[in-house]
Amino acid sequence: MKTLVIGTGGREHALALSLSRDPHVTEVHAAPGNPGIGRVAELHEVDPLDGAAVASLASSLGIDLVVVGPEAPLVAGVADAVREVGIACFGPSREAARLEGSKAFAKQVMAAAEVPTALARVCETPDQVAEALDAFGPPYVVKDDALAAGKGVVVTEDRAAAEAHAASCDRVVIEEFLDGPEVSLFAITDGQTVLPLQPAQDFKRAYDGDDGPNTGGMGAYSPLDWAPEGLVEDVSRRVLIPTVKEMAARGTPFSGLLYAGLALTSRGVRVVEFNARFGDPETQALLALLETPISALLMGAAQGNLGEVGLPQWRDGAALTVVVAAENYPESPAKGDVIEGIDEAEQIEGVDVIQAGTAEDADGRLVTAGGRVLAVTAVGDSLGQARERAYAGVERISIRGAHHRSDIALAAERGGITL
């Protein structure tokens, strides 16, 4: 099987790496990719938002399966363009990707499917914003209705900060605050069959102790030994399957990766948000543990025969990812700083260094090119061993001014998470 991964980030590196290790995959291509992806795939220049260009590239390479990584190309309809030329594509259509492309649309779908979620109001004027903030009270939850690269959500006690974020967006969704720990549950679907993956947890705040601004994610781990028994089955029954059925009933069937961000509240499970693609950095941890050949899951979803694949199988143990971010991330991340130590980190047993915001400079040196630069991912027989290996890998990485969280999964390892 010849595969083509579309995108430039850590999620795409993790997908390309898994495909390169899949015995059923003969070739891995990526466009446009990054230097890390170039270690495991042949890179090609293409605009990832140009569906016609992506489809043309896939045709010229004789690709069997295109995997669209990021949300922006999905919302732009790249998957539709690929399928129009007769090539299997993993990723939802433009219309189905509205589940992520519009928070307001996602709320409409959840209401129709009776999916439990936070109470919310859609606001387009300052007066509407003020009324919603008054109604829900602090902590204020303000979400940009449109795509914002994982940084469109503000959760704050500061009324002025909430109003300022709303003013910076064309339209916002203002919600009630949901208490309790958050969990990410991914599901692969062909529009009918829904196969959930095992739960993961990511860490959105920039600094230790869940302090600082929201980011695209500073680390993740899986599995979650503290999660309630039957969580996957419950969320499948109450959230994932009803949502897929509702999308089909609307004439816009959803195939690809449905990501449910969940809050385990004192009143039960509530959906925080939907995404229409693999989440980053949870994907790095999950794929490190996946035993089922990834090509079978992705192609099954793309061809509509996922029911023949069976539930994903997982290796024993745990996986943990620590994001190494550039100086001043997320506000104004520095670029062009030299990255050293990746090869040394990967000499540690169980460690892969996934590249996200990287590039090569004129001298051929690996340098920073984005906010979240690397995702050091490790597997171990236990969560403690995975943490030890991942942080040992981080210590071997050298980037001027870089920062990372030192507490990824620390509470879970110590048994400190309560529901």
Half-sphere exposure of 378 (CA within 13 A, CB side): 27
pLDDT at residue 416, as a whole number: 76
Query: Is the N-terminal amide bond of 139 cis, ω within 30° of 0?
Result: yes
pLDDT score at 149 = 62
Task: Output the pTM of the full model.
Answer: 0.93
Q: What is the DSSP letter of 22?
A: -
Q: Which residues contact 229 (CB under 8 A, 6 or more apart)?
A: none
Closest CA to 6 of 56, 47, 64, 61: 47
pLDDT tens digit at each of 419 positions of the chain: 999 999 999 999 999 999 999 999 999 999 999 999 999 999 999 999 999 999 999 999 999 999 999 999 999 999 999 999 999 999 999 999 999 988 889 999 999 999 999 898 999 999 999 999 999 999 999 998 887 665 678 889 999 999 999 999 988 999 999 988 999 999 999 999 999 999 999 999 999 999 998 899 999 999 999 999 999 999 999 999 999 999 999 999 999 999 999 999 988 999 999 999 999 999 999 999 999 999 999 999 999 999 999 999 999 999 999 999 999 999 999 999 999 999 999 999 999 999 999 999 999 999 999 999 999 999 999 999 999 999 999 999 999 999 999 999 999 998 877 66
State the pLDDT at residue 145.
84
Contact 49, 76 (CB under 8 A): yes
CA pair distance 408, 14, nearest whole angstrom: 19
What is the model's pLDDT at position 152? 79
Amino acid at 256: G
User: According to the model, what pLDDT value does residue 150 have?
Assistant: 57
* Extended strands (E) in 315-403: 318-325, 339-340, 351-355, 358-360, 366-368, 372-380, 398-399
